[in-house]
Structure 1
Amino acid sequence: MTDLDEIAGVAHEPEGTPAGVVVLTHGAGGSRESPLLIRICDEWAARGWLSIRYNLPYRRRRPKGPPSGSAGGDRAGIVDALTLARSLAAGPLLAGGHSYGGRQTSMVVAENPGLVDVLTPFSYPLHPPGKPDRLRTEHFGDITAPTVFTHGTADPFGTIDELREAAALIPAPASIVDITGARHDLGSTKLDVPALAVDAALSALP
């Protein structure tokens, strides 16, 4: 695995020439060392893709704690990561992240049409727990990339039905991989979450 200092990233390299590049980042309390990100990147690499997990700018500044007023800078960091990824291999570019990282990536994709080929958020934080009226979907109408949500059926940040309604706002093909019984961390003892997520993302490629 190669360290990508410029974006505080780690590359999971496939055997042979990569089919494309997948770039993933972490949730508000996490880092690139998230077990979920590692497992998903391993799965992508096993399928022949170069996959990169990286730290958002706020996490590069301090090892712990949530983002605080850093969203604009974090989105700039996402653009930097995607631009770098484009230079590393030919083929499609997929991007996403867990929770906060997935939300910020989706905003970057909305602001930059054509930047990625598929958007893959994990545990999208549709609203704060217990506050379903505070939806974080104002940019969904500007997302033009095919989108694959991977979401637990017990996630307090949004139900599958709520997410299905939100996904309908996206004017591109949008699908949901629902992980039965999983909460926000997408932990499951019965389902292979990385394999299901990767299968769906590959099916969404234009």
Structure 2
Amino acid sequence: MDPPLEARIETARGPAAVTLYRPETTAPGARNCLLVLTHGSAGGVDAPDLVATRDMARERGATVAMVTQAYRVAGRRSPGGNTGPQDESWTTVVRQIRAWPGLGESPLVLAGRSNGARVACRSAVELGAHAVVALAFPLHPPGKPHRSRDAELRAAGVPRLVVNGASDPFGIPEPDEETTVIVRRGERHDLARAPREVATGVVDWLAERGLVAHVES
């Protein structure tokens, strides 16, 4: 198996870091998606739910890119209140990944946790994503439901999966025709209690859309 490919991608906000993992197997009958995963504010791509999702998606035939965004490489805890610079940097990174050999034809799935879920939703239409996975989507700041970010989620324009903890202080979005919501009992915002179960929900949802392989019974 090929070792992970590590790269730096220059953006208008400084370099971002990418680690690309090739699939552990090819998936007959599936389209073998490119899954681009990113972190939340103050976090990293080593979050348990992200790592578990990476590993299980590769087992099902996906190529996975783990992206440390430019603001985190620069040592900042958050991307700032203006979403424009973060979105610009993020789209630069994803487009560069798509330009790498063998990845341009793979269906694109954007995924992130918390703030990373927000940027994935905001950029999905522009980047031509087939689907979005939003882990711990922060519907509103804790204790401030009037500051809803629901419009960001609905604007993704493609099928989306939301996985939130039942006790998440950032709130839980409602499902709709294009939004599947999995609520994890006993979990809070970090989704760290049973990350493999979180990942199973993600890859099963992707498999239903032909983006990774189904588990053979």
TM-score (norm 1): 0.84
What residue number does 2:50 align with?
37
Higher relative contact order (CA 8 A, sep 6+): 2
Q: Which runs of 5+ in 2 are unaligned?
A: 10-15, 212-217
Identical columns (%)? 26
SS at match of 1:138: helix
What residue number does 1:65 align with?
77
TM-score (norm 2): 0.80
Question: Counterparts of 2:92 and 2:192 in 1: how far apart (Å)?
Answer: 30
1:126-146 CA-partner distances (Å, limit 9, x unpaired) = 001111121012344433211
Question: Counterparts of 1:21 and 1:71 in 2: how far apart (Å)?
Answer: 24
- After superposition, the Cα gap between the structure-2 partners of 1:139 and 1:60, relative to the gap in structure 1 and judged at 3 Å, is same
Q: Which runs of 5+ in 1 are unaligned?
A: none
* Counterpart selection for 1:14 from 20, 23, 26: 23
Preserved contact between residue 118 and residue 153 of structure 2 (Cα < 8 Å): no
Residue 107 of structure 2 is aligned to residue 98 of structure 1: no
RMSD between superposed Cα atoms in Å: 2.3
* Counterpart selection for 1:136 from 120, 136, 149: 149
What residue number does 2:5 align with?
2
Question: Counterparts of 1:44 and 1:14 in 2: how far apart (Å)?
Answer: 8
What residue number does 2:202 align with?
197
- Correspondence 1:22-171 to 2 at 5 A: 22-62=35-75, 65-69=77-81, 71-88=83-100, 89=103, 90-110=105-125, 112=126, 115-159=128-172, 163-164=173-174, 167-168=175-176
- After superposition, the Cα gap between the structure-2 partners of 1:38 and 1:139, relative to the gap in structure 1 and judged at 3 Å, is closer
Q: Which amino acid aligns with 1:134?
A: R
Question: Counterparts of 2:183 and 2:200 in 1: how far apart (Å)?
Answer: 13
- After superposition, the Cα gap between the structure-2 partners of 1:151 and 1:136, relative to the gap in structure 1 and judged at 3 Å, is same
Preserved contact between residue 12 and residue 42 of structure 1 (Cα < 8 Å): no
SS at match of 2:189: coil
Preserved contact between residue 148 and residue 204 of structure 1 (Cα < 8 Å): no
Looking at secondary structure, tell me which structure has more helix per residue.
1
Shift of 1:48: 0.9
Shift of 1:186: 0.7
